[in-house]
Structure 1
């Protein structure tokens, strides 16, 4: 089972808005060297809503080729159209991604049965392992625990990214899901507790700027070392909080530019980080010794 710190990696862009593949591959190498266990490409943090289908596929393809088996590649392939999600998931399988990450259909507000049928149709169209992604703060629709348990019976649905930050809900899932079904949190602030309670890792925004600390946090939490987990988490608290002072990935792209890792271009309708927040992110980076 894939465990640990899985970075929800940003999509670097040049000053003219074109994708910056050189910066992306540089970030990937940095993450692998720092102990990141997997690269999640074209998720929410990767600006999946604003890239074209062709760009989406290119990002997956280049990431798989550059990683070259060194760590796992989890390709974001979700969509609110079942057919588009199938197309993207088939492509990820074709180019050799290790997993796909499939978000709850957004905007069209399906029922629980609709979500079950959506994910079932994707799973039946491919053989690649699928990780479900529940983020009701963005999708409005909320994948209920009962539906996750139903979906876990489908052979190639192998995990869940839960971004609700609801630890009671997580503990219910840990109790009811098969032992080989992976549970990842999508909330950095509760990741330490999530793993100490039985979760398997985090799909992380914070890891974008503090990959080694997040990898260490996961390693200690998964080993049950509460003292070490608390010590590292305390260094990261500012990042967990302030990287969401505006909509993700606005703050994290600014932070990476501040660190000299890439440019800070972000596509509309998102806009660059407000100057009033610069000091917050800079202070959080300093506390985590990222700058």
Structure 2
């Protein structure tokens, strides 16, 4: 079962814009060494929309091999074309991934029935569970859609919640008797969502603070809410505010931070994303210093 702290990793590129396999392996080891229970590749943070199918399959190969027996692996298989998404889900299944993360079709003005059939088709692929991304592409997934998908496939097991509705955790739990696990997906809302009963976390924040997020999850399970909130406010909220203050820069922010921390070699992103300004880089460096993720000497300000 997928639960606990699941880290959504970026896809490292080299200066030429090609996948940096050595940095990818370093990143996987980095989050594992910090104590995460699972990894999610090819999510939004992983720039899935900018990768070819061959590149996606190579990332699945590397992640499945590196994580084997160490942590769960969820693979993003999102595309507005159902057959294209299903093909990647089938490959992830062949490679032993535990689940596929699937956004609603985000282009083409898809009907409710089309959304249901999209999810169900992917959920019937191979031997792999389905994690629907509620809020992916800015599209909320109604509870009724989840119910219909469950009638078509037994693999509808998880929901990643980024729609800003913490109470939906309880709504999903009550609707399906706990048979659909909700994972908190918004850094600034993980505390209320965990208190509502989320079975885990799916955030990019774990790239920097997987150890803290794992501790927060465990504390909430023990109903030690005040201690968990202190950790969140001290470590997760500050980086969430800095990295998420400009929504179309959060991927660049995490790549830059990981480069400054020595985890990956380069902070290159692919178009349509563009590099951070020097002012934003200095802003991030100061946050990393304040969080003691790099030394003052490494991140000295101009």
- Please indicate the TM-score interval, normalised by the length of the shorter structure: over 0.9
- Counterparts of 2:195 and 2:231 in 1: how far apart (Å)? 14
Q: Does 1:169 align with 2:184?
A: no
Give unpaired runs (5+ residues) of structure 2: 295-302
- Counterparts of 2:148 and 2:37 in 1: how far apart (Å)? 28
Q: Does 1:209 align with 2:208?
A: yes
Contact kept in structure 2, 1:245 and 1:251, CA below 8 Å: no
Contact kept in structure 1, 2:80 and 2:106, CA below 8 Å: yes
- Counterparts of 2:178 and 2:86 in 1: how far apart (Å)? 27
- Counterparts of 1:225 and 1:177 in 2: how far apart (Å)? 27
SS in 2 for 1:152: helix
User: Are the structure 2 counterparts of residues 58 and 214 from structure 1 closer, same or farther at C-alpha, using a change threshold of 3 Å?
Assistant: same
TM-score by length of 1: 0.94
Selected match of 2:149 from 143, 148, 151: 151
CA deviations 1:86-132 (Å, max 9, x no partner) are 10000000111111111111122312221111111112232311111
Give unpaired runs (5+ residues) of structure 1: none
Q: Residue 223 of structure 1 corresponds to which residue in structure 2?
A: 222
TM-score by length of 2: 0.91
CA deviations 1:220-278 (Å, max 9, x no partner) are 12332102211110122111222113323121111111212211111111011122222
Q: Does 1:99 align with 2:99?
A: yes
SS in 1 for 2:244: coil
* Deviation of 1:7 (Å): 0.6
Report runs of 4+ in structure 1 exceeding 4 Å deviation. none
Alignment of 1:178-217 (within 5 A): 178-217=177-216
* Deviation of 1:140 (Å): 4.2
- Counterparts of 1:58 and 1:163 in 2: how far apart (Å)? 28
CA deviations 1:183-203 (Å, max 9, x no partner) are 112211101211111001111
SS in 1 for 2:124: helix
Selected match of 1:256 from 242, 255, 258: 258
Equivalent pairs, count: 289
Query: What's the RMSD between the two structures over aligned residues?
Result: 1.5
Q: Residue 270 of structure 1 corresponds to which residue in structure 2?
A: 273
* Deviation of 1:13 (Å): 0.7
User: Are the structure 2 counterparts of residues 2 and 141 from structure 1 closer, same or farther at C-alpha, using a change threshold of 3 Å?
Assistant: closer
Alignment of 1:9-158 (within 5 A): 9-136=9-136, 139-153=137-151, 154-158=153-157
- Counterparts of 1:129 and 1:201 in 2: how far apart (Å)? 16
